[in-house]
Copies of this chain bind each other. A is one copy, B any other.
Amino acid sequence: MIEPDIFGVYRDYIFCLNSQDWPKLGQFVHDGVRYNGEPIGLSGYREMLERDFFEIPDLYFNVQLLISDPPYVACRLSFECSPKGKFLGLHVNGKRVSFTENGLAPIFETNS
């Protein structure tokens, strides 16, 4: 089922991340955002992303698959990047790594 709007919003969100356009993050991420079940708020979410880009300078979110079951979207993101130090407990030290990650989140329209 194609949902152009929900997909468009999600792609704009990924573009915002890849551009590290943090002032725009609030257009996509609600202040009640949770990460792995923990309420971290917009500021905590932004800090997490800024830390990710600091630790992985060439971080790039690549959308491999995007599906929608409103209000939810799910995506498979793929990464090819070079974390500076440790990554997932491994001493990567700038070596190139590839991995995928699945995301699942509700998307709601707001007037704000």
Contact = CB atoms under 8 A, between A and B. Distances in A.
Contacts of A101: 102
Contacts of A69: 1, 67-69, 74
A69 B71 CA distance: 12
Interface in A58-112: 65, 67-69, 72, 74-76, 78, 86, 88-90, 98-104
A89 B92 CA distance: 13
Most buried by B among A65, A69, A100: A69
A19 interface: no
Contact of A76 (B67, B89, B90, B104): B104
A86 B88 CA distance: 12
